[in-house]
């Protein structure tokens, strides 16, 4: 068992984590950074250092390749990098972790969480069938194994769905159909935010380029979709949907689903720092100041884990957070801190100008966030259906933590990560309360599944308690 002591422990090696480590090292802080992947990049820059194909690089595009200089700078930063490592405990004073070869505790004066985003659950009938997977998972296969699925149906809304469709077309893969669930009212709701979005026109130009390419490919696009379900016996056989014209279906073996991304809050929830329901992004997020400081003086959050902003804003927030930590630890003076942070805060504001427009345009419809069909599985780990939630609420269950006793929802290996937001919004819908009033699961350590032997300090190589 080992781990040592550092000034700063960082969890997550995506754009925010890498940027934070680079900046912290520049200001003389010792840094240890932990990530479950075997190479840096996070989800957005996954496998950026192992990309060996010019063809794949052209498919993934310039935005993806922008992660390479950041990864190179991180490699040269001098930070202690523990790849393939799971952090299972976080607290004042440091973190506990395990890897395939070792386990340990690393003491730290400060902890920065940069665990990024996760895809929002898509709780509709049949979403657990083999053959149905998230757009993010499909993109991971493309980035890591250069694996694609021909003739898949794309279902949902949000920039990532269209980005993946564009990348598939660039790879020469046929798309069976694109079923867009964007609510028509969202187009009107987004209009007031358009002038601010035009301050960052590059995002809109990229979006128009992707849409034009998809249209030119003659991929069938079905819009105005209000209901979706997936059918099959042992695996996916068809996608069915309803729009203003009527009901439709299409036979298929694979479907990629997406309804936007939300902060991955299980780690921060476990620390008991203050969180709030963000109605604009319909998700929970930790309450932070401009530098990512939370209600706990030893904990900072950077990147999409503190609110969805995208890769560029995540990298900027990592740099901003590291500056704040360096200042709080007395490593830079006030004047230097103000000069550097003022410039970075301004850049981040400009980059985030498009965010309100995107949030309103791609806001998932309520029925896709909280199911109304009693047969829909809400908690995949424990196979809890919506009807069981409804019965529990009817019997007086006040919130998600009590729901565990009624139904076991949230008690599986993911500790509610995949069902938490759905459970909260479903209870809110059934009880007529707001998600903020309903609350979230009370996440406890260990954050990730870990054996008693690993907690005790056993490793495969040691074989004996340390």
Residue 242 maps to a domain: yes
Contact status, residue 83 vs residue 39, Cβ threshold 8 Å = yes
Q: Tell me: do 25 and 86 sit in the same domain.
A: yes
Output the pTM of the full model: 0.94
Q: Tell me: do 306 and 397 sit in the same domain.
A: no
Output the pLDDT for position 459.
Answer: 46
Domain count, the chain: 3
Residue 187 maps to a domain: yes
Q: Tell me: do 133 and 85 sit in the same domain.
A: no
Q: Tell me: do 246 and 272 sit in the same domain.
A: no
- The domain boundary residue, chosen from 332, 356, 389: 332
**Could you say which DSSP state residue 399 is in?**
S
**Could you say which DSSP state residue 364 is in?**
P
Distances from the Cα of 461 to the Cαs of 99, 183, 454, 456, 465, in angstroms?
12, 55, 12, 14, 11
- The domain boundary residue, chosen from 259, 288, 304: 259
Strand partners, 251: 238
**Dist CA 232 CA 255 (whole Å):** 12
Q: Tell me: do 319 and 230 sit in the same domain.
A: no
Contact status, residue 35 vs residue 44, Cβ threshold 8 Å = no
Burial readout 401-413 (b: 16 or more C-beta within 10 A, e: otherwise): eebbebbebbbbe
Q: 443: which 2 tokens?
A: 């996440």
Residue 386 maps to a domain: yes
Q: Tell me: do 219 and 127 sit in the same domain.
A: yes
Residue 312 maps to a domain: yes
Contact status, residue 276 vs residue 267, Cβ threshold 8 Å = no
pLDDT tens for the 466 residues of the chain, in order: 467 999 999 999 999 999 999 999 999 999 999 999 999 999 999 999 998 778 899 999 999 999 999 999 999 999 999 999 999 999 999 999 999 888 899 999 999 999 999 999 999 999 999 999 999 999 999 999 899 999 999 999 999 999 999 999 999 999 999 999 999 899 999 999 999 999 888 889 999 999 999 999 999 999 999 999 999 999 999 999 999 999 999 999 999 999 999 999 999 999 999 999 999 999 999 999 999 999 999 999 999 999 999 999 999 999 999 999 999 999 999 999 999 999 999 999 999 999 999 999 999 999 999 999 999 999 999 999 999 999 999 999 999 999 999 999 999 999 999 999 999 999 999 999 999 999 999 999 999 888 887 777 644 444 443 3
Residue 240 belongs to domain with CATH number: 3.50.50.60
Output the pLDDT for position 451.
Answer: 84
- Judged by DSSP in three states, 360 sits in helix
The burial class, CB within 10 Å (0-12 / 13-18 / 19+), for 73 is: middle
Q: 22: which 2 tokens?
A: 């680079």
Contact status, residue 3 vs residue 106, Cβ threshold 8 Å = yes
Q: Tell me: do 240 and 313 sit in the same domain.
A: no
Output the pLDDT for position 462.
Answer: 44
Q: Tell me: do 323 and 383 sit in the same domain.
A: no
Residue 430 belongs to domain with CATH number: 1.10.10.1100
Residue 350 maps to a domain: no
Distances from the Cα of 335 to the Cαs of 289, 332, 338, 397, in angstroms?
19, 8, 5, 53
Domain boundaries, position 231: 121-259
Residue 191 maps to a domain: yes
Q: Tell me: do 100 and 142 sit in the same domain.
A: no
Residue 343 maps to a domain: no
Q: Tell me: do 132 and 236 sit in the same domain.
A: yes
**Dist CA 64 CA 166 (whole Å):** 13
Q: Tell me: do 129 and 227 sit in the same domain.
A: yes
Contact status, residue 326 vs residue 305, Cβ threshold 8 Å = no
**Dist CA 60 CA 55 (whole Å):** 9
**Dist CA 97 CA 204 (whole Å):** 41
Residue 292 maps to a domain: yes
- The domain boundary residue, chosen from 259, 275, 305: 259
Output the pLDDT for position 457.
Answer: 65
Output the pLDDT for position 101.
Answer: 86
Q: Tell me: do 315 and 230 sit in the same domain.
A: no
């Amino acid at each position: 068992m080992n781990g040592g002591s550092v000034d700063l422990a960082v969890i997550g090696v995506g754009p925010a984590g890498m940027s934070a480590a680079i900046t912290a090292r520049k200001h003389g802080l010792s840094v240890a950074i932990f990530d479950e992947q075997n190479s840096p990049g996070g989800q957005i820059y996954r496998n950026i250092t192992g990309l060996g194909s010019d063809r794949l690089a052209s498919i993934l595009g310039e935005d993806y390749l922008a992660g390479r200089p950041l990864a190179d700078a991180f490699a040269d930063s001098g930070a202690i990098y523990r790849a393939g490592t799971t952090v299972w405990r976080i607290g004042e004073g440091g973190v506990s972790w395990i890897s395939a070869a070792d386990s340990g505790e690393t003491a730290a004066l400060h902890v920065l969480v940069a665990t990024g985003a996760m895809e929002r659950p898509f709780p509709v009938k049949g979403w657990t069938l083999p053959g149905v997977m998230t757009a993010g998972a499909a993109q991971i296969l493309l980035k890591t194994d250069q694996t694609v699925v021909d003739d898949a149906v794309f279902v949902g809304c949000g920039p990532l769905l269209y980005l993946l469709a564009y990348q598939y077309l660039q790879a020469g893969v046929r798309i069976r159909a694109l079923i867009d669930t964007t609510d028509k009212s969202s187009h009107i709701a987004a209009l007031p935010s358009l002038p601010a979005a035009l301050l960052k026109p590059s995002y809109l130009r990229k979006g128009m380029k992707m849409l034009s390419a998809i249209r030119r490919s003659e991929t069938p696009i079905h819009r105005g979709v209000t209901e979706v379900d997936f059918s099959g016996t042992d695996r996916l056989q068809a996608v069915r949907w309803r729009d203003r014209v009527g009901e439709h279906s299409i036979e298929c073996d694979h479907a990629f689903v997406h309804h936007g991304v939300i902060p991955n809050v299980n780690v921060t929830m476990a620390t008991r720092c203050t969180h709030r329901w963000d109605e604009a992004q319909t998700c929970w997020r930790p309450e932070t100041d401009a530098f990512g400081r939370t209600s706990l003086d030893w904990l900072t959050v950077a990147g999409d884990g503190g609110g969805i902003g995208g890769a560029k804003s995540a990298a900027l927030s990592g740099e901003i957070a590291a500056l704040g930590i360096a200042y709080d630890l007395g490593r830079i003076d006030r004047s230097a801190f103000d000069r550097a942070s003022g410039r970075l805060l301004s850049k981040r504001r400009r980059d985030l100008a498009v965010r309100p427009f995107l949030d309103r345009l791609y806001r998932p419809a309520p029925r896709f966030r909280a199911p109304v069909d009693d047969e829909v599985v809400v908690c995949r780990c424990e196979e809890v259906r919506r009807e069981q939630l409804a019965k529990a609420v009817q019997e007086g269950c006040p919130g998600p933590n009590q729901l565990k006793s009624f139904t076991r929802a949230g008690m599986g290996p993911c500790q509610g990560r995949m069902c938490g937001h759905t459970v909260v919004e479903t209870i809110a819908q059934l009880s007529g309360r707001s998600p903020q009033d309903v609350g979230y699961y009370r996440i406890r350590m260990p954050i990730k599944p870990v054996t008693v032997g690993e907690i005790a300090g056993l490793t495969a190589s040691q074989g004996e308690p340390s």
